[in-house]
Amino acid sequence: MRTPKAPKAEPAPRGPGGDPLVGERYEVEVGAVAHGGGHCVARHEGRVLFVRHALPGEKVIAQVTEGTTKSRFLRADAVEILEPAKDRIAPPCPFSGPGKCGGCDWQHVTPGGQRKLKVQVLTEQLAKLAGLTPVEAGWDGSVEPVGGKLPAGEVPAWRSRVQYAVDPATGKVGLRKHRSHDLQPIDRCLIAAPGVTELGIESREWPGVASVDAIAATGSSDRQVVLVPRPGAQLPIVELDKPVSISRIDEHEGFHRVHGRTFVREVAVGRTWRVSNGGFWQIHPEAPDTLVNAVLDGLDPQYGENALDLYCGVGLFAGALADRVGEEGAVLGIESGKQAVVDARHNLAALENVRIECDKVESLLPRTGITATDLIVLDPPRAGAGRETVAHLVALEARRIAYVACDPAALARDLAFFREGGYRPVSLRAFDLFPMTHHFECVAILEPIGEPVA
């Protein structure tokens, strides 16, 4: 569950040849929502269009943004709504819409409508890639709101980490447009947490800077701004109105060197966590507690049990498991990020029943000599764990496995691999931890099919 950062530019797709269709407009009826990208599927004269800023059931004018006469499919924006869906609203953000900021996919949808779209995506991926119905997956068919329900038109300010790009000509910050290197200048991001907005990043100029990361820790007053300079540029002297640590990351031949204070303190599940160098941490303030509680409820750890925390980051799940299994139990965390391992060891230094190792899961786990365990938590990157890693995990004969996923397609593929190995999901929960975007988080609990092997 490597949660999504602010949108970055994607490389331009390699064209298939043919005459360009960019700018062409077609009247289309919009079909189902598709996985990824916040778009829906439509067709024009037999060709598929992936249309953003549209909703299922609408009739729209779609303007092509990518594709040629020989493309297998086209990308497009809904630039005129002829017959709107009932869940459509006017986007609250002035920077949302065709050709604008690519960060929010569904500013034009009611909060309830957004969750319904996510339900449709997860349902389709489970059926298509795992061969599971919601009932077979142990899922009640809902995406649970986090932080309370909001009325239509009200935007939740949840994003505690925002990465801004900087216009080299003006020094002003903005966010990337969808699938583009182009910048959308902004004076405020509506989904940014109050602690980020208070830093005033958007109101000043950043000469010589390529990007600005703004971090507002949850549960502490720590604020951090991470600057990446342009090659050969002299960074400006930065003075902000709020107390904040300023870090600089120099990039040289693939290596990063950090100057200045390098960490913030996050507070979650009753513990303070050090997170260094703008490293990975859940960006919704309520995500750590929400996900840990879902994992613990599903696993029901018992005193004296052994557990694995794979892709463990700075130790969030390992710490929660260690508290439950007690001094007679043991937890092994595996993480490939060197700085995250340093942080995890610092965060969990008082827990003698925890060990954190640094390596890739697929490389280290077979070398540990572990042949069995009671519990497993895995929180892989967006691509998922994959067949080989899943095969190794099922051989450990854990009584329960918790799979935390930010991509429904990767989750569904891995659930199919687990089923091949004799494990099935007994519960699945989905959480709306990224409102206004197409992203959401899932926690699946798996058990052996039939009686667990002793």
Same domain, yes or no: 384 and 404: yes
Same domain, yes or no: 169 and 143: no
Whole-angstrom distance, CA of residue 200 vs CA of residue 82: 39
Q: Is 423 annotated as belonging to a binding site? A: no
Q: Is the model's pLDDT at 448 over the cut of 60?
A: yes
Q: Is 335 annotated as belonging to a binding site? A: yes
Query: Please, which pLDDT band fits residue 10 given cuts at 50, 70 and 90?
Result: very low
Label the pairing between strands 173-176 and 183-185. antiparallel
Please compute the mean of the pLDDT values over residues 383-400 and round it to a whole number. 96
Give start and end residues of each alpha helix (H) in 215-303.
Answer: 287-299
The whole-number pLDDT of residue 374 equals: 98
Q: Is 303 annotated as belonging to a binding site? A: no
Which tens digits make up the pLDDT trace of 159-184?
A: 999 999 999 999 999 999 999 999 99
The answer to the question of residue 98 being in a domain is: no
The whole-number pLDDT of residue 243 equals: 64
DSSP strands (E only) in 304-381:
306-310, 330-335, 354-358, 375-378
Please compute the mean of the pLDDT values over residues 445-451 and round it to a whole number. 85
Question: How many CA within 13 A on the CB side of residue 223?
Answer: 16
Q: Is the model's pLDDT at 434 over the cut of 60?
A: yes
Q: What is the CATH number of the domain that holds 423?
A: 3.40.50.150
> To which H or E segment does residue 391 belong?
helix 387-394
The whole-number pLDDT of residue 238 equals: 72
Q: What is the CATH number of the domain that holds 51?
A: 2.40.50.140
Same domain, yes or no: 331 and 356: yes
The answer to the question of residue 277 being in a domain is: no
The answer to the question of residue 352 being in a domain is: yes
How many independent structural domains does the chain possess?
3
Same domain, yes or no: 167 and 142: no
Catalytically active residues are 406
The answer to the question of residue 274 being in a domain is: no
Q: Is 311 annotated as belonging to a binding site? A: yes
Which residue range(s) make up the domain with 314?
115-149+284-448
